[in-house]
A = this chain, B = another copy of it.
């Protein structure tokens, strides 16, 4: 049996014993060493078992003493309701608030706890291995990356992305893919390729503010659609909107901020519905590789028969946000996207594309993803436990099955006020208002789970919960 399954199997057995109260609250668990001997496993595998159980709040560690069955397990908080944006257009961009939140990006010297920015922290990234790959790339790439790449992008990179497409039910060829300077750049080209100023684009609600701002900056009207915190966009609402929209953009898998993931049947239905009305679907699959379950969810692109799905992704949430490496499979919009790339960019950053291509080709990416998913899943459990324990009664929280962010709904607490209070205590959150152009989500916030878990981080969540309570 593979190591990965072994640790899951052992932790599942222990979890069963705890839930059946064969192991009672306060009982001591076997030591790491004992677990190794008993099951003939390595220290690392044994540690993973405890990490998994700790993540589920079933056990807790006591310094110098070992692991014990938890006295109290965290309550499962209720889910937020399906969103109900007004079926009207709105243009109220919360620009000053967004600027405030993003003014702290990329400045580690400020020593802030950035729950606000949706990126994995350095501790979750394979920095040393990327650096080794960089040394190789300087050798393998003609001119060490000083020259422009071919217009569609680095060949090796496009091959690697095409090859990986089987993981989500795709069957792409390298020629189907154009590289871009990160995920937003891919979305930007796709919106420009499929719309003209004055057109209407349909999106989920809440939705990443960058998507709203991008659409507005291109002169588009935005139709925000009701979205379920687990299954994503409401298909009936989308159907009703069809006569009014020219384009649709969905973050199909573990979107931010909600963390919802469209079931396969929804994906298929949406693709067919839009194709039937000749409406292009821009699919943002930035988080698909970060699933907590046993297999990667499919993409809408897997159900695309007419070439009208523009599938976008990047390694910004899994490998290196600062590398600016993304791509798009634009289907029948390939010529338009190629032209836009030539006109707005000429070339992506050649050297970082080569680094990522090497990383993908070597198989190191899959190993890295496996570790990262475990960490994020454990973080998710830790966050939910802390929120259940420290946040005001009546708090609701999303239950993402993947991705990087949690969506928290606070009972009657204005999260823009919370932002202003918390930032003074060096805690930054993303207030709900930035994820919509309408007046909604004022009592919601997004928390990034990409920070390394620690007692310190737990204290920060406690502090945040206390501040929220004071604003009630």
Q: Which residues of A contact B (CB under 8 A)?
A: 95, 98-99, 102-103, 105-108, 117, 119, 122, 125, 127, 130-131, 134-135, 138, 142-151, 181-182, 184-185, 188, 192, 196-197, 210, 213-214, 217, 219, 319-324, 338-340, 342-352
Contacts and interface: CB of A to CB of B under 8 A. Distances in A.
A435 to B, nearest CB: 14
A146 B321 contact: yes
Contacts of A214: 343-344
Copies of this chain: 2
Given A122-B143, A131-B144, A351-B351, 9 more contacts: A98-B342, A108-B142, A117-B148, A146-B320, A146-B321, A184-B343, A197-B197, A197-B219, A324-B350
B344 A147 contact: no
Given A134-B138, A350-B323, A352-B349, A210 B343 contact: yes
Contacts of A103: 151
Given A122-B143, A182-B346, A346-B184, A340 B138 contact: no
A127 B144 contact: yes
A95 B338 CA distance: 11
Residue of A119, A130, A144, A324 with highest tally of chain B CB at under 10 A: A324
Contacts of A135: 135
Contacts of A151: 102-103, 105-106
Residue of A117, A182, A197 with highest tally of chain B CB at under 10 A: A182
Nearest to A322: B350
Nearest to A181: B181
A365 B149 CA distance: 23
B217 A343 contact: yes
Residue of A214, A346, A352 with highest tally of chain B CB at under 10 A: A346
Contact of A146 (B108, B322, B338): B322
A95 B213 CA distance: 29
A182 B217 contact: no
Contacts of A347: 105-106, 182, 321-322, 324
